[in-house]
Amino acid sequence: METVYLTRNGLEKMRRELENLVKVVRPDATAQLAAARALGDLSENAEYHAAREKLASVDRMIGDLQRSMLRVQIIEREQLDLSEVRILSRVRLLNLNNNSRMDYILVDPTQANPSKKMISVKSPIGQGLLGKGVGDEVDIDVPSGKLRLRIEAIEPAEGV
């Protein structure tokens, strides 16, 4: 199993998510299953099958979070080397294909959230940027084609 790299804030978010799943979501899913079971014939009870699948999904999420938490290594912001792109770096980029600016935070795959500009270090862009420094230009193959990027700044990520 691979190490999960998080800040203290990231670990706290993971703990809160696990606590919510265990104390709120799972009991609700269990209650829904019990209510559906009370409706009678289970072989033709779509509500029962849906509730059972939901509970199994919640249990998988709980198990995944628990396993991830066992492999966490905390990274302190003060430890970040800003001379090159690393996990938990905020990277400001210039897309040389269309002169647009992009801003990403490289995170562990467990924290990836593209809508918040948090990309996995295992994604094509993340892997293409790792180890590069300010001023470096990189070509990265992505599903939509080839990106040509210049690293404009490397900063410590905030709020991760």
Which CATH architecture is the domain 81-156 placed in? Roll (3.10)
> The CATH number of 4-74 is which of 1.25.40.10, 1.10.260.40, 1.10.287.180, 3.30.360.10?
1.10.287.180
Q: Where are the domains of the chain?
A: 4-74, 81-156
3-class secondary structure, 72: strand
Domains 4-74 and 81-156 equal at CATH topology level:
no
Average pLDDT over residues 131-160: 90
User: Phi first, then psi: what are they for 90, rounded to 5°?
Assistant: -95, 125
What mean pLDDT do residues 59-74 have?
Answer: 93
- Across the beta sheet with 100-107, the strand order is 118-120, 100-107, 89-95, 145-156, 137-142
Whole-prediction pTM = 0.74
The pair of structure tokens assigned to 17 is 């998510």
Select the more confidently predicted residue: 1 or 39.
39
Of 67, 85, 98, 80, residue with least CA distance to 134 = 85
Element (H, E) at 156: strand 145-156
Read off the pLDDT of each residue in 117-131 and give the average, rounded to a whole number: 93
| pLDDT number for residue 78 | 73
Quick one: pLDDT at residue 103? 94
The rounded distance, in Å, linking the Cα atoms of 142 and 103 is 17
* CA–CA dist 15, 112 (Å, integer): 16
